[in-house]
Structure 1
Amino acid sequence: MRDALDEDLLRRWVEAAATGLRRHRGELDGINVFPVADSDTGSNMLLTLESGVAALPAALPAGAVPVAELAAALSGGALRGARGNSGTILSQLLRGLAEALAAGEGLTEGLRRAAVLARAAVAEPLEGTMLSVLDAAAHAAPDGPLAVADAAHAAVARTPTQLPELARAGVVDAGGLGVAIVFDALVEACSGESPARSRVVVREKAALTAVRESGSPEYDSEVMYLLDGTTGDKVDELRRTLVGLGDSVVVVGDGSGTWNVHVHCSDVGAAIEAGVETGRPHRISVLRFDERQPDRARFLRSRAVLLVIAGPDAAQLAREAGADVLETRPGHAIGGRELLAAVEATGAAHVALLTCDVSLAGLAGRVAAEARDAGREVVVVPTVSVPQGLSALAVHDPSRNPADDVVAMAEAAAGTRTGGLVVAEAEALTWVGHCAPGEVLGMSEGEVVLIAPDLSVGALWLAHRMLTGGGELVTALLGADAPADLGERLVEDLRRTHPEADVVVHRGGQVDFPLVLGVE
């Protein structure tokens, strides 16, 4: 029995595993039926492992780099480059090994940890998947690498009896088979010979047509991103939120504060927004399951960006930047029919919808779903204010892939902090103290954060507070009744106190806030 893993064996194993996945990539993609028949399991597992291998330090004399350090680099690289559901779970196999080696343990403990981590990462674990194969491998680990590989293949053979989707298609689980191939590579690394296995038989694609779909039965997109700056409790809450949005939810960490988030859903904006509320999402990717384009013959153009904006001047700014605009009026509540009519009026096959108001998020989601049912692709980009909408619009690129463009806009909006000034109409007690009629309240993230004697002082104080966390650009939108020199005084003050930030002032025309600030 060989339980110990040294640096030379670890390198040989992962290199042989990459070769094995590369060799069987087509077979694995060809039998990919569950959870979504999108023919990419082999590709995702290979790309994930290659990301891990690329993170390994250069080969050095034996003992120069501790094996635990190599394993940690491998695990971190795989997590950061994980692709799809299968790649994300594969990264947990490598994490389990890394944690075991760091604790002075070997293969047996590493596989046990990997099985536990992988199962904990999946919101709704099912038998007949990679999880079952990892469990079987971990159970056989005390008997050595060959026993691990044999147990993995035996578990793969059982998967059609555990998942009806596999039985109907007449295939084994693709991700589980990919794991078994990785364990065959371990045997090869230890003995120099790869175990003799029956070649995977892939049914003709036409034979799978009846059981394959263009995507999830309920959801049309795969959303993935890395997440930093959060806690375990917040990640647990994020996992619950994503379960409410879609399926195939997998949230895995590398043990050092970075998480990889994966979900199949239709409301892409909500999935990204949940990440923004949890921490700092980055490396965001969105893939459509159904590569078929809508019937564009009935559309006047391919794409549009639609902003819902309060204030005629801000609305004109958005139009000049190339957006379609639904302008709100004071005292008027936008309804579903009105918003859907605005979406249809764009004449576009693909519409990025920005509400610029958190209270309209739910309505926008329902309208987007209704529009998608009618054959128009609508994606809601999370925006809670006009500055966020304008920031998103500033990075819009019609020549870019639509999914990538939505991601870029969502990231720009998430990177923009918003605040505003209001004049108190009555005496009140706020979070920051007592205010009298006529005093100016500074608002940020929906809370009163300061009380100022006038608009000019309030503008400077609010801008200074918002720039405390950093920022390169301050955008000021003057309200309908704001004095013209309010913006001039703010520019002058900020040039003196924050020369590192550029300041842009526009007349927004909104009636609720004399001044709205955006910092990005």
Structure 2
Amino acid sequence: MTTALTGPYLRSWAVRALAGLRRHRDEINRLNVFPIPDSDTGTNMTATMECAVARLEDATGSAGDADAAETAAALAAGAVTGARGNSGMVLSQILRAVADTAAMSATGDLSARAVPVMLSRAGKLVTDALSHPVEGTILTVLRQAGDGAQAVVDADPEASLGTVVTAARDAAVTALEQTTGQLDVLGEAGVVDAGGRGLVVILQALVDALETGTETGTETGTETGTETGAAGGTGSFRGSVGTGPADPSHGAGSEPHLELVFTFRGDAAALRTALGELGDSVVVVGDGADAHRAHVHTRHPGQLIERIFALGSVTGLRVEALPEQPAARGVRPVSPVIALLPAGAATGGLADLFRGAGAEVCDTSESLAEALGALPGPGIVLTNGQDTAEVFAGLDRVGREFGREVTVVDTGSFVGGLAALAVHSPGADPDDDAEDMADAVHGQRWTDVTVPPAGQQTGQDPVVDVVDVVEAVAAAVNALLADGGELVTVLCRAECGPGIGDAVAGAVREAHPDAEVHVVTVPGLPVDAQVGVE
């Protein structure tokens, strides 16, 4: 493994980060509920990284022989110029921090000890760029990534570059998990911060680049993280959460709510003041020279545009309409997708898991009929292996009483239901949405895992040996992957014992390092484990 981040390694990192953002774009978009749920964080981060990589290609060609300072400068310039949205602005400052740190290097490359300096610099630039920095966002994840890297360097000044970068990635993952509890709007929606998720993808790309070298033709490596749903677990982030309530500071009203993004040359302090007086979500980032890229949400576009043109030179102005916000906070939008669960499971681990994935839940034909009748339009029912006779009885009642159109997707299992929800697109045509879900389920193979109990405690669930469960799950994964697949989803019954999720995740990843692995511990799961492979 290399001892320094050279130009070729930075190029590899950037290309891998772009590929990762493209792969996770829809997932990140679905997590986007702050500052407003406009579902564009993944799109904006991807577009910004595309501009960064394009500028790098223009500046240095495809040979990749530029040093880190030259490579990082090109990436930063492209990102600042092409930054899209709030999250793109933040990403541009992270790349600018890489460039600033590389420019200070005597060799033009970045050592292991430069990594925490780079991340600390990024945190400062991002904080300075934001009008109102908020904890529980990408800013928090970025700062803790830097702290994680610094802790390794402090403990061992000779720590390898790979060790320091991996520590930064791991600290970012931990910080991301905690964002749900740090920001009310994230907690209400049951999601992690979208921008922070994008940062984890980018740091994972750096880990992969260091582990596999400077070749960028293929992607390798597996994501590390946790599920985005409400249930706890270990594994990759699987973005499948619908929109949630937004920060009421954006308000609702009759005036159009617009996003303005533009390049500005002039007095940046005066610009920031004007944007703050007539808008919010203000971000102003510099390119290190004389230009700034600005972002703002406003309900006074005419007045604001007049002011910014009076303050200096404005180019590349882009205006987009933003979605209106609900007047009440804390009201979760009703999902048209309803997941069937076993009787008595409408509360607890399974219910939390499926609600976090963007579905309503029902455990009886009566509750199903009521839920479908309350929908404003067509509904989609995921069977999840439950009794379909009761399903159709409920559908008959809905048809008679409400005239509601309902599509049933026979998911066959809980992991099948999660696979369907992973491709669910809120607002899409219901027939197309259901077809996409059915295709996702069709592409998955699954099995239940049940281990004979090792004993019985009076009045409690049967006691199983964690080692037996881990071995049984590993065997099931091996059998399913024998016919191909790259995505493994494992649900583990939490009652199997403490640490069951970590133990299963470790065993599966060790046996299949190229697979993307999701493991979730679920209280009350009716089997010891359920495994799905796609």
Q: TM-score under structure 1 normalisation?
A: 0.52
Counterpart CA distance in 1 for 2:73 and 2:60 is 14
Matches within 5 A, 1:358-397: none
Query: Alignment partner for residue 194 of structure 1, among 221, 225, 233?
Result: 221
1:291 Cα shift?
A: 8.4
Question: Counterpart in 2 of 1:259?
Answer: 292
Query: Alignment partner for residue 168 of structure 1, among 188, 194, 202?
Result: 188
Question: Counterpart in 1 of 2:251?
Answer: 217
Question: Counterpart in 2 of 1:22?
Answer: 22
Counterpart CA distance in 1 for 2:247 and 2:136 is 20
The count of corresponding residues between Structure 1 and Structure 2 is 284
C-alpha change, 1:42 and 1:215, in structure 2 (3 Å) is farther
Query: Alignment partner for residue 171 of structure 2, among 146, 151, 172?
Result: 151
Deviation string for 1:283-324 (max 9, x for gaps)?
0011101389xxxxxxxxxxxxxxxxxxxxxxxxxxxxxxxx
In the alignment, structure 1 residue 92 sits paired with structure 2 residue 126:
no
Deviation string for 1:309-352 (max 9, x for gaps)?
xxxxxxxxxxxxxxxxxxxxxxxxxxxxxxxxxxxxxxxxxxxx
Counterpart CA distance in 1 for 2:206 and 2:313 is 36
Task: Indicate if the aligned counterparts of 1:187 and 1:195 stay in contact, CA closer than 8 A.
Answer: no
In the alignment, structure 1 residue 108 sits paired with structure 2 residue 109:
no
1:278 Cα shift?
A: 2.5
Task: Indicate if the aligned counterparts of 1:5 and 1:107 stay in contact, CA closer than 8 A.
Answer: no
For residue 137 of structure 1, what is the amino acid of its counterpart? A
* SS of equivalent to 2:293: strand
1:170 Cα shift?
A: 0.4
Query: Alignment partner for residue 117 of structure 1, among 116, 125, 139?
Result: 125
For residue 321 of structure 2, what is the amino acid of its counterpart? R
Counterpart CA distance in 2 for 1:132 and 1:117 is 13
Task: Indicate if the aligned counterparts of 1:52 and 1:78 stay in contact, CA closer than 8 A.
Answer: yes
In the alignment, structure 1 residue 139 sits paired with structure 2 residue 147:
yes
* SS of equivalent to 2:181: helix
Matches within 5 A, 1:346-425: none
Unpaired segments ≥5 residues, structure 1: 293-520
Question: Counterpart in 1 of 2:316?
Answer: 283
* SS of equivalent to 1:110: helix
C-alpha change, 1:253 and 1:61, in structure 2 (3 Å) is same
Question: Counterpart in 2 of 1:181?
Answer: 201
1:220 Cα shift?
A: 1.0
Matches within 5 A, 1:475-490: none
Counterpart CA distance in 2 for 1:150 and 1:50 is 25
Task: Indicate if the aligned counterparts of 2:223 and 2:236 stay in contact, CA closer than 8 A.
Answer: no
Task: Indicate if the aligned counterparts of 2:44 and 2:88 stay in contact, CA closer than 8 A.
Answer: yes
For residue 129 of structure 1, what is the amino acid of its counterpart? T
Counterpart CA distance in 2 for 1:280 and 1:74 is 24
Counterpart CA distance in 2 for 1:47 and 1:54 is 10
Task: Indicate if the aligned counterparts of 2:86 and 2:281 stay in contact, CA closer than 8 A.
Answer: yes
Task: Indicate if the aligned counterparts of 2:138 and 2:196 stay in contact, CA closer than 8 A.
Answer: yes
Counterpart CA distance in 1 for 2:144 and 2:247 is 30
Q: Percent identity?
A: 39
Matches within 5 A, 1:37-76: 37-56=37-56, 57-59=59-61, 63=65, 65-76=66-77
Question: Counterpart in 2 of 1:323?
Answer: none
Deviation string for 1:420-448 (max 9, x for gaps)?
xxxxxxxxxxxxxxxxxxxxxxxxxxxxx
C-alpha change, 1:222 and 1:58, in structure 2 (3 Å) is same
Counterpart CA distance in 2 for 1:62 and 1:40 is 31
Deviation string for 1:393-452 (max 9, x for gaps)?
xxxxxxxxxxxxxxxxxxxxxxxxxxxxxxxxxxxxxxxxxxxxxxxxxxxxxxxxxxxx
In the alignment, structure 1 residue 10 sits paired with structure 2 residue 10:
yes
C-alpha change, 1:242 and 1:212, in structure 2 (3 Å) is closer
Counterpart CA distance in 2 for 1:5 and 1:263 is 35
Deviation string for 1:82-117 (max 9, x for gaps)?
111000000000000001101116333221111100
Counterpart CA distance in 1 for 2:249 and 2:259 is 9
For residue 258 of structure 1, what is the amino acid of its counterpart? A
Counterpart CA distance in 1 for 2:315 and 2:248 is 27
* SS of equivalent to 1:161: coil
Task: Indicate if the aligned counterparts of 1:225 and 1:282 stay in contact, CA closer than 8 A.
Answer: yes
Task: Indicate if the aligned counterparts of 1:32 and 1:39 stay in contact, CA closer than 8 A.
Answer: yes
C-alpha change, 1:247 and 1:186, in structure 2 (3 Å) is same
Counterpart CA distance in 1 for 2:131 and 2:39 is 22
C-alpha change, 1:225 and 1:156, in structure 2 (3 Å) is same
Question: Counterpart in 1 of 2:278?
Answer: 245
Counterpart CA distance in 1 for 2:27 and 2:2 is 30
Task: Indicate if the aligned counterparts of 1:215 and 1:289 stay in contact, CA closer than 8 A.
Answer: no
Larger Rg: 1
Task: Indicate if the aligned counterparts of 2:258 and 2:320 stay in contact, CA closer than 8 A.
Answer: yes
For residue 34 of structure 1, what is the amino acid of its counterpart? F
1:214 Cα shift?
A: 12
For residue 147 of structure 2, what is the amino acid of its counterpart? H
1:236 Cα shift?
A: 1.4
